[in-house]
Amino acid sequence: MSLLKVNTITPLTGSIVNISGSIEISGSLSLDGIDVQGNTILGNSITDTVQISGSLSTTGSSNLVGDVTVTGSVINSGNITSGGNFTNEGNISTEGDLTVSGSFNLSSSMFLSSSTSGGAFIDFINSEASSSSRINSNVNDLEIITGDTTQIFVSSSGNIGIGTITPSNTLEVSGSIKGTEKLTIGVLQTNSGNNASVAGGINNTVSGDCTFIGGGQDNTVDSDYSAILGGCCNQTPGGNSVVVAGKSNTVAGGCSFVGGGSDNCVTGNASSIIGGCTNTVTSNCGVILGGINNTLSHNDAVLIGSNLTSSEDNFVYVYQRSRL
């Protein structure tokens, strides 16, 4: 085995140094290319500089004390340790460890491979803070690790886990979720409101601010501070209004409510329809408790039953079936 040990090698343009043994250089090195099959120590001071305009290929261990600049490719089957900054404009392919104490600048690709069961990984170490983090490729999975705990896990099937390494869905979160803007979940949803949310369902539309749709289909919330919890084809054009469920219910009055049923309509303010079918409230502070085909057009009135029509304010209208 041969050994080449010198203090400084001046630029050797157009040359390639091929050494099958060990090479130790205590000064600066500037080469067009280097191919070392043994162990390599370049520099003994952080101010030393290694500049390689060709390729760096090593099968042994390389200790690069100063700054390293490689304009070609880095191919390594051993370990490379850089005590300074590492800059590379070509590709990096390594089967061993690549340790950089300074900055790492890469303008092309880096290929990592490992024959161990733990897979290839990149460590980020802060020696002053005694902390580290890691990006680990384990077989076909990918992990982001901080504090020895896997924080984000991407499985080979494409599932992403946050706080879990066994995600069974496209996105699975173990812990709380906090958002500052809007949430949209489901299929063919439209959410153009500020601080608005669509939690599920299909083809629902939210355009009002601070609004919510819980689920269902073809529901529309186009006023501020309003909500539809579910159902189908419900609308809340009135502000501060709520539809709990049902089908084709409309709340156009402010601060009004429909609990369920179908084809109910509230246009008065502070009014409610609890349920039933084809009921209408056009007055303020009116309530229809249920039934069908009721019409309430007077203020501060209540209808209980079916086929009733109000005629005066401040009345309670009750449908009574006569007995024979």
Q: Over 90: is that where the pLDDT of 145 sits?
A: no
In a domain, 55, yes or no: yes
In a domain, 37, yes or no: yes
Whether 10 and 106 map to the same domain: the answer is yes
Last residue of a domain, one of 135, 150, 173: 173
Whole-angstrom distance, CA of residue 19 vs CA of residue 1: 10
Last residue of a domain, one of 86, 112, 138: 112
Whether 90 and 128 map to the same domain: the answer is no
Whether 39 and 135 map to the same domain: the answer is no
Long-range CB contact pairs, 228-234, < 8 A, 24+: 228/204, 230/201, 231/260, 234/258
Q: Are 236 and 242 in contact (CB under 8 A)?
A: yes
In a domain, 308, yes or no: no
Predicted pLDDT at 150: 84
- pLDDT tens digits for 233-290? 999 998 999 999 999 999 999 999 999 999 999 999 999 999 999 999 999 999 999 9
* Confidence at 9, pLDDT banded by 50, 70, 90: very low
pTM of the model: 0.59
In a domain, 99, yes or no: yes
Whether 147 and 99 map to the same domain: the answer is no
Predicted pLDDT at 132: 72
From the number of C-beta atoms within 10 Å of its C-beta (0-12, 13-18, 19+), residue 114 rates as middle
For 39, 62, 111, 125, 294, the CA distances from 81, given in Å and listed in that order, are 12, 6, 17, 14, 84
Supply 293's token pair: 């085909």
Whether 133 and 90 map to the same domain: the answer is no
In a domain, 134, yes or no: yes
Last residue of a domain, one of 96, 112, 128: 112
Whole-angstrom distance, CA of residue 278 vs CA of residue 271: 15
In a domain, 263, yes or no: no
Whether 58 and 136 map to the same domain: the answer is no
Whether 53 and 75 map to the same domain: the answer is yes
Whether 70 and 169 map to the same domain: the answer is no
Whether 130 and 63 map to the same domain: the answer is no
Predicted pLDDT at 31: 52
- pLDDT tens digits for 299-315? 999 999 999 999 899 98
Full residue range of the structural domain in which residue 151 is found: 120-173
Split into its structural domains, the chain has a count of 2
Whether 9 and 69 map to the same domain: the answer is yes
- pLDDT tens digits for 81-111? 766 677 766 667 666 667 776 677 666 666 6
In a domain, 291, yes or no: no
Whether 67 and 167 map to the same domain: the answer is no
In a domain, 231, yes or no: no
Whether 53 and 92 map to the same domain: the answer is yes
